[in-house]
Amino acid sequence: MSKHRPWTTAEEAYLSEQWGQLSVPALCKALNRSEHAIMVRVNRLGLPPFLENGEYITLNQLLQAVTGCDTAYSYKMISWVENRGLPVHDKKRNRVTRRVVYLEEFWEWAEKNRSFLDFSKMEPLILGEEPDWVSEQRKKDYQAFANQRKDHWTTAEDDRLKILLKKFCYGYADLSRLMNRSEGAIQRRINDLELKERPVKAGNRNEWTADDYKTLADGIRAGDSYWLIGEKIGRSEKAVRGKVYYQYFTENEDKVRAMLGNREWGDGAPVPTVKQALNHSKYHVSLLKEISKLAGILAYRRNELGYEPYWQRYMCMKWHDIKGCTAGCDNCDACTDFERIQPQYCARCGSTFFERQEAKFCVFCRAARKKQQQKKICNYGFTRRPRCRAKERWFVMPSMSLLQHDMACYLTGRRDSLERHHIFGGANRKHSERYGLWVYLTHDYHNEPPHGVHHNRRNNERLKREAQRAFERTHTREDFIKIFGRNWL
């Protein structure tokens, strides 16, 4: 490269035009000049910074302009870029790489996701020239998000809501206008305050007409909010949302707009999955009929092929996994000795289970008790006995309770939130575990005032007396006093 070569007018014009479009190394190669010469000429020409020139801005600048806040955008990389496909490019300036967004691509993306963005938070012309639809969408968002308040409910608002509800003449839409809150916010506040009064039901439970469907489709194509569409049709926002989900299995307006296109309402609706159809009133009955037909065809085909002669073996008491049918039958169709497996109830979790052999616990509780036993052995298993030789070790095996055999609260009989209570605690806790002097108690009768045994002296002494009586069925009172230190009877 030649030194002190003067800049021509054509070179300065090329630099001004391509500055921000091409990288600095590309400009050096095109103009046959060093990077230092390029940067000096940029400063003399008064060109803007590299990333502020051209048809793009950084992703951070875009998010600040659109959302109106300067918080971190880690979550928006997921919701905007990954989930909705915002086109983002990497722009390298020297050794620094920044994420940039071309404004033309952004406006194309924003038009497809206009219901996701809130243009009321975006200042007009903050990104330069805007498409024609943006100003109209900004007005719609001002109306739609006017009730989307983030401030807390005050005591005065709660009192006013209670007064309006007791009049029994306002629905959700009326309360939304009077309270300047959204319908969802009012419903949530009623539930939080545990109010018995409810808004009156809307008197528009008439069928949807063809004009209503046309207004709904046109509103979605135009980017109107569900609240604005409801105002045009004369229905609540919830009714509009329910109708959209009923047809397209989503309330996302952008997805519905893409499926609907320029066609009539209902066109482009997706085929429901089996799970969606089962929970959908439109397909529920027909799907159950089809599933029943399929089950019948499969059963007929199974019998036609001639395999699985013992098709009732999983329900019959006469079946043995190794010996086979103990009744001596060749198949289940000709069997007259069928005996159904009777239900059993788990003493630990209370669930119903079916097994041929009588069992006290279900298979899951047996596995859980086995794990619990292993943990107890590991925790306080091989501890040293006092005043014994170092090689002599012992462990306390967990025992069954002497006071109860059912997994229920010993004091109330309830089966919810059960906890294990050792009647004699402290240094005698291991003795309570060893001799089965423990019971199941609910949390409020275990460790909560005023009824909990750790706070209620009467309940605590009652359990100690009954535990001593249970102990003395197989031992003497002198043994009890020697082990536990005192007499409670």
Token pair 């008064």 is at which residue? 46
d(CA 206, CA 79): 38
Q: In the chain, what is the straight-line distance between the N-terminal and C-terminal CA atoms, in Å?
A: 108
> What is the distance between the alpha carbons of residues 35 and 146, in angstroms, rounded to a whole number?
52
Cα 395-398-403 angle, rounded to 5 deg: 140
Q: Check pLDDT > 70 for residue 144.
A: yes
The pLDDT of residue 384? 42
pTM of the model: 0.49
User: What does residue 339 show for φ and ψ, rounded to 5 degrees?
Assistant: -135, 115
127, 103 Cβ separation under 8 angstroms = yes
Q: Token pair for residue 1?
A: 């490269």
**Window from 185-189, 269-273, 392-396 with minimum mean pLDDT:** 392-396
pLDDT above 90 covers what percent of the chain? Answer: 12
Mean pLDDT score across all residues of the chain: 82
How far from chain centre, in Å, is Cα 17? 51
Q: Distance between CA 68 and CA 439 in Å, rounded?
A: 60
pLDDT in tens, 334-362: 788 888 888 898 888 888 888 888 898 99
Could you give the residue ranges of the DSSP H alpha helices within 249-283? Answer: 253-260, 274-278
Strand partners, 102: 56
CA 152 distance to own-chain centroid: 24
- Token digits of residue 469: 């009586």
What are the pLDDT digits (tens) for 418-469?
888 999 988 888 889 888 899 999 888 998 888 889 988 899 999 999 999 9
CB atoms within 10 A of CB 8: 10
Q: What is the pLDDT of residue 387?
A: 45
Burial of 53 (0-12, 13-18, 19+ CB in 10 A): middle
Interatomic CA distance for residues 307 and 298, integer angstroms = 13
Tokens of residue 185, six digits: 């916010």
Q: Which helix (H) or strand (E) covers residue 421, if one does?
A: strand 418-422
pLDDT of 286-308, one tens digit each? 888 888 888 888 877 766 766 56
Cβ distance 354 to 363 under 8 Å? no
Of the candidates 111, 113, 129, which has an alpha carbon nearest to the alpha carbon of residue 76?
A: 113
CA distance 139 to 4: 57
Would you say residue 223 has pLDDT above 80? yes
